[in-house]
Every structure is written in structure tokens, then in C-alpha cells.
Amino acid sequence: MSGNKQWVTRFVVLSLLLVLLVGIAIFVVDPLQHYRRATFYRPLWGTKRYYNPGYVRHYDYDCIVIGSSMVNNFAPSEVGRVLSMKVLVASMPGGKPYEERVLLSTALRTGKVRTVIWALDLQPLGGIATRPGSMPFYLYDDNPLNDYQYLLNGDILLRDCGKVLLYSLFRNRRGGGPGLGGAHPGGGSSPYSREATVRTWQRRRAEYRGRVRTRAEDVRRDVDSMQKSFDANILSMAESNPDIRFYFFYPPYSILYWIDTGIYGLDTYLEAKRYIFSRFRNLPNVRLFDFQDVDSITLDLDNYLDYSHSSPDVSSYIIDAIAHNQYLVTDDNVDERISRLEDEVRRFTDSLAVAERDGCAGVPQSPDQSRPRSPDGEDFEP
């Protein structure tokens, strides 16, 4: 009997020692930079939802760019140069407004943020608040009592600790280094082309075609859902932080984005945009920019990786435009901007229908647009 007690005691002690060693190892390496900025190793920027909290806490910046994967191509160094700010880009692929609010709240608690640039995706406004299990909320709050979820996490020990140590030991350490550019270098070698754009759109269209909601009661419910999400997660941040400048912008999806690729119809999005402007218009710390009707971008499918993600050149153009107050939505032009997008989508939809009726394969060629134009029709000079 005593032997069994000794065995149980040894097992318990060894288990506790093992747990303690795991916690110490993760705390010392701190692969997600939860407690401190990386020093003795080069950090690997992995899944954004896990790496962003440490990123916004421990790096130097006064301007943060947030949004879904639509801001992946915004290079901190370029944005900082154009806007004369110290910039951090914290993208969250597939991000929902609630998730982006949680991230921004974490950044604001540092006291560093003076300017926020926020990409507004309309479709996620009508969806669920967060995907189940996608957000490690224990990394975003300031409660040390739930840090055990980080310190005793076997996946983090084996995956993240192992990766950063192996990379630092056996891979070339030159270039890149820990810093604002390491996580979001901008650009990349992805194939931005008309062919890739059309191919991804055709797959998406086959999945969603015929599912768009057109009944008035469905549209009203969708718009109401978008408005509630916007008020709770986006408007609330701008209203509760009057001393911080907010630059919101609508990303310029390709023209194909609006055609049979989701459950929300164009009218739903346009009504949501009218509502968003009506809520922003009286906030002195907010500016709203709209790039979704810039046909020289949206009709040129070579600007895109797929039907929605645009190239680094487009990201550069957006920042230059924001710096010069181009495409700013105002009382004088809000209706015109929305009508222009509606007309562009209707015309393209009609041309697509004609091509399909005549048995033409593929997507109609877009008009040649050599360079983006500002709303008044003049070429924009950065």
C-alpha cells in the first residue's frame, strides 16, 4: 500500500515539475511576445490572431492600420513615410468587426495610438461576431490569471517555441530582423492577374449563385444586423476616443466581387454605406474614404490576386489618396459616390449577361483605364 502511495506521490511531483518546466520554457522564450518584445531570437510572424496582441503591445508606433486581409499589402515603412508617422500594420485575415475592436482596444490601452486607419469590410458586418475558437482572448486582455492558457499550452511549446528556436539556430539571420516591417513587409510575389481574379470569382460564383437575398424583409434584417454590428464595434470606438484620429476606408474590391459572390445583394451594401456615413458625418475625429467606385482600379482585373484582394500598388495608391484627402466621402458627394458604384455594377452585370446569352466564354473585357482618377475626373498626382 505504501508503495502505491509513493508511486502516486512521485507521479504527481513529476507531473507538476513537467508542467512547471513547460510554463518556464514558454515564459522565457515567449514566442508570441506576450510579455516582452523578442530579443535573443528573430520572431516568426505566424497566425495573426495569436501574434497581433504582443505585436501591438511591445512595438513602437503612433499610427495603427487594422482590418482584414485587405490591409495585408500595406507596408509600415511606406505608410509611415507618406503620412509622416510611426506605423504598425495589424491585419486579421477573415477578421470580424468584433475581433478588430478587441484588437484595437488592446492597442489603445498602451497609450501609443494617435491615429487609426481602419479598412471597412461590409460583408462581415452582417455575420457572426467571431468564429468559434478563432480568437485567443486570453492574449488580448490584461488579466494575468488566465495566462495559464498560454504558459501551459502544448501547441505553443511544440509549435511556436520550437519554430522560433530552430529558425534562429539554423536559418540565415541576416535581414528582416525583429521590427515593424518583419510582420507585414507588404507586397510579395503573389500572381496578380486577370486570369487569377476570374478563376477565383468563378469558383465563388458557382458556390453562391442564386442564394442572394432579395426579399424586402430579408434585406431589412440584413441591414439591421449590419447597423447594429457597426454601432457596437466600430462607431463606439470612434465616439469613445475623440482625441484619436480615425481614417476609415472601403477597400476597392474588383467589380466581380459584387456579382453573385455572397448572400447579400448590392442594395443591402449600399444602404449600409448610407447608414455608416450618417453616423460618421458629425464626428470631428473621423474621415471616411471610399475607393469602391474607382473604376480605373476595380475594372482592371490585373490589379487583383482574386476577386477582392488588390495588389501592393493599389495599397500604395490608397495611402497616397488618404494623405491628400482624395475620395473623401462628404455631404456633397455621398449620394453621387454610391450611385456611381451602383451604375458600374449594373452596367457590368448587363454586359456579363449579354456575353453569357451570346455564348461567350469568360468575363467581358473592361474599358481601358490607364490610371486611377479622382472623383472630379482629373488624374490624381501623388
For residue range 311-368, list pLDDT tens digits in order.
999 999 999 999 999 999 999 999 999 999 999 999 998 888 887 776 665 676 655 4
For residue range 129-147, list pLDDT tens digits in order.
766 567 899 999 999 999 9
Looking at residue 379, what is its pLDDT? 42
Percentage, residues of the chain above pLDDT 90 = 61
Looking at residue 177, what is its pLDDT? 45
Shared domain for 208 and 155, answered yes or no, is no
Residues whose CB falls within 8 Å of the CB of residue 252, separated by 6 or more in sequence, listed in order: 291, 292, 294, 297, 298, 310, 314, 318
Shared domain for 82 and 128, answered yes or no, is yes
Looking at residue 364, what is its pLDDT? 63
Looking at residue 168, what is its pLDDT? 76
CA–CA gap between residue 338 and residue 308 (Å, rounded): 18
For residue range 78-128, list pLDDT tens digits in order.
999 999 999 999 999 988 999 999 999 999 999 999 999 999 999 888 877
Shared domain for 182 and 199, answered yes or no, is no
Assess if residue 319 is contained within a domain. Answer: no
Q: What is the tally of structural domains in the chain?
A: 2
Name the CA radius of gyration of the chain, rounded: 24
Contact by Cβ (8 Å): 278, 170: no
| Structural domain of 149 | 1-186
Shared domain for 180 and 204, answered yes or no, is no
Assess if residue 323 is contained within a domain. Answer: no
Looking at residue 63, what is its pLDDT? 97
Q: Which of 165, 186, 207 is the last residue of a domain?
A: 186
Shared domain for 214 and 297, answered yes or no, is yes
Looking at residue 351, what is its pLDDT? 87
Shared domain for 173 and 256, answered yes or no, is no
CA–CA gap between residue 275 and residue 294 (Å, rounded): 21
Shared domain for 40 and 166, answered yes or no, is yes
Better pLDDT: 2 or 50: 50
Mean pLDDT of 256-271: 89
